[in-house]
C-alpha cells in the first residue's frame, strides 16, 4: 500500500491494454469493446477522472456524471465541460474539491475515489499514487503504439474477474483487478 500524505481520496487506475501493454495509437483506442465501455461507465460514474489533453481530445466531449479533469501545459486551453489543470497535484486537488462539493449537494451517486484515466503520459505520472488498477486485457496483435508503464509483477496481487471469448467484431478480453501489495512510503 502506498502511504502518501495528503491523499484525501484514493486514486484508482483504469486501463485497457493488449499483451504488449499498448493502450492506443496515440490518437484513439485500437479496439471497440462495447461491454468494456459499459463496465468503465459503471466503475467510474460519480467520480473525478484525471486525463491527459490528448485523451480528452480523443474522447471529444465530457463524460457525464463525472468530473473530467484535463492535464495540459497550456495556460489557454478551452475544454468545454472539463476542469483544466497544469499540474498533477492540482488535478488531485480539484478532484478532492469536486468530491467534497458534490457529496454536499447530492451524495448518492458520488464515489470517494479518483480515477487515473490515461493516456500513457498520465499513467506514467500517476501510477505511483494508485494501489488499485481496474485492468482490461485485450488480445489484440499490435506492437507500436502508446504503452502503459511496465509493472513490477511482484508488487501486485492479481484477480481475474471475467473472461470474454472473441466474437465476430470483438476481440477476446478479460477483466482484472490488481491490488498493490508492496509497501511504498513516500
Ligand atoms: N486503453 C486505454 O485504457 C486508454 C485510456 C486513455 C487513453 N488511451 C489512449 O492513449 C492515447 C493518448 O495517450 P498519450 O500518452 O499520447 O497522451 P495523454 O496522456 O492522453 O495526454 C498527454 C498530454 O497531457 C499533458 N500532460 C502530460 N504530462 C503533463 C504534465 N506533467 N503537466 C501538464 N500537462 C501534462 C500534455 O498536454 P499538452 O500537449 O496540451 O500540453 C500532453 O501532451 C490515445 O491513443 C488514447 O486513445 C487509452
Please state the domain extents for the chain.
Answer: 2-185
- The reported pTM is 0.96
Burial of 79 (0-12, 13-18, 19+ CB in 10 A): middle
Please state the atom number of ligand 1 nearest to the C-alpha of residue 25. 45
Domain 2-185 = CATH 3.30.565.10: no
Q: Which atom of ligand 1 is nearest to the CA of 86?
A: 33
Q: Residues enclosing ligand 1, CB less than 6 A?
A: 15-17, 23-29, 51-55, 58, 71-74, 86-88, 117-122, 125, 146
| Alpha helices (runs of H) in 65-119, residue ranges in sequence order | 88-105
Question: One digit per residue, pLDDT tens: the chain, 186 residues?
Answer: 445 656 999 999 999 999 999 999 999 999 999 999 999 999 999 999 999 999 999 999 999 999 999 999 999 999 999 999 999 999 999 999 999 999 999 888 999 999 999 999 999 999 999 999 999 999 999 999 999 999 999 999 999 999 999 999 999 999 999 999 976 655
Closest-CA residue, ligand 1 atom 39, reads 72
Amino acid at each position: 500500500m502506498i502511504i502518501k500524505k495528503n491523499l484525501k481520496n484514493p486514486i484508482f487506475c483504469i486501463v485497457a491494454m493488449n499483451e504488449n501493454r499498448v493502450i492506443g495509437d496515440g490518437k484513439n483506442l485500437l479496439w471497440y469493446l462495447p461491454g468494456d465501455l459499459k463496465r468503465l461507465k459503471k466503475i467510474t460514474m460519480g467520480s473525478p477522472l484525471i486525463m491527459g489533453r490528448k485523451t480528452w481530445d480523443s474522447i471529444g466531449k465530457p463524460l457525464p456524471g463525472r468530473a473530467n479533469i484535463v492535464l495540459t501545459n497550456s495556460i489557454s486551453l478551452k475544454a468545454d465541460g472539463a476542469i483544466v489543470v497544469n499540474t498533477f497535484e492540482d488535478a488531485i486537488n480539484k478532484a478532492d474539491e469536486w468530491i467534497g462539493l458534490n457529496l454536499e449537494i447530492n451524495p448518492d451517486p458520488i464515489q470517494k475515489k479518483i480515477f487515473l484515466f490515461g493516456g500513457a503520459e498520465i499513467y506514467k505520472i500517476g501510477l505511483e499514487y494508485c494501489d488499485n488498477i481496474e485492468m482490461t486485457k485485450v488480445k489484440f496483435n499490435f506492437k507500436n503504439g502508446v504503452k502503459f508503464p511496465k509493472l513490477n509483477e511482484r508488487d501486485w496481487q492479481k484477480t481475474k474477474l471475467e473472461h470474454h471469448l472473441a466474437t465476430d467484431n470483438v476481440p477476446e478480453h478479460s477483466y482484472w483487478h490488481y491490488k498493490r501489495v508492496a509497501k511504498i512510503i513516500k
